[in-house]
């Protein structure tokens, strides 16, 4: 029987990633957008191919690599620490690029946004570190992920 008010039991919420729509997701997405715009902007004066490669990596890596249970569709499963590293890469790229490419006031605002994103992401990062290990195959075709064995497909 579902718990009153939310329909979820304590066991379900402990096994579910906190990566869902909310403040942390909005801050992370805003910082990612800034990284995708500011990084090529900052690098284009040095090398256009480097600018293109940087944005391709910033967009492509998190699209391909993800921790099972953190996103609904995972192309290449990776441990939680890899997902955290990819988010940190986005945050650093956004802040560094803003300081290189844009006026000081904008760079300060982007840096504050990046710090706020880190603070908001901490629950998700704790979950990723605790439960986001690479799933291992079980003999019956299930995987043993953070919430125990589950059937695939």
Q: How many domains does the chain have?
A: 1
Q: Summarize pLDDT for 119-135 with one digit per residue, the tens.
A: 999 999 999 998 655 55
99, with CB counted inside 10 A (0-12, 13-18, 19+), is middle
Q: Which domain holds residue 101?
A: 21-134
Is residue 63 predicted with pLDDT exceeding 50? Answer: yes
Contact 19, 25 (CB under 8 A): yes
pTM, 2 dp? 0.74
The reported pLDDT for the residue numbered 20 is 74
For residue 115, being part of any structural domain is answered with: yes
Q: Summarize pLDDT for 78-137 with one digit per residue, the tens.
A: 999 999 999 999 999 999 999 999 999 999 999 999 999 999 999 999 999 986 555 544
For residue 143, being part of any structural domain is answered with: no
């Amino acid at each position: 029987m579902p718990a009153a008010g939310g329909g979820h039991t304590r066991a379900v919420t402990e096994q579910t990633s906190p990566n869902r729509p909310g403040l942390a997701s909005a801050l992370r997405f805003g910082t990612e957008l800034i990284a995708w715009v500011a990084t090529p902007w900052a690098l284009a004066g040095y090398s256009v191919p480097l600018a293109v490669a940087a944005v391709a990596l910033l967009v492509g890596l998190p699209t391909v690599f993800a921790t099972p249970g953190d996103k609904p569709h995972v192309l290449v499963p990776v441990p939680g620490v890899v997902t955290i590293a990819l988010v940190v890469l986005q945050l650093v790229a956004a802040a560094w690029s803003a300081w290189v490419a844009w006026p000081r006031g904008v760079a300060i605002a982007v840096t504050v946004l990046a710090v706020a994103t880190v603070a908001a992401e901490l629950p998700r990062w704790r979950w990723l570190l605790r439960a986001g290990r690479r799933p291992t195959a079980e003999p019956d075709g299930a995987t043993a992920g953070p919430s125990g064995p589950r059937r695939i497909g």
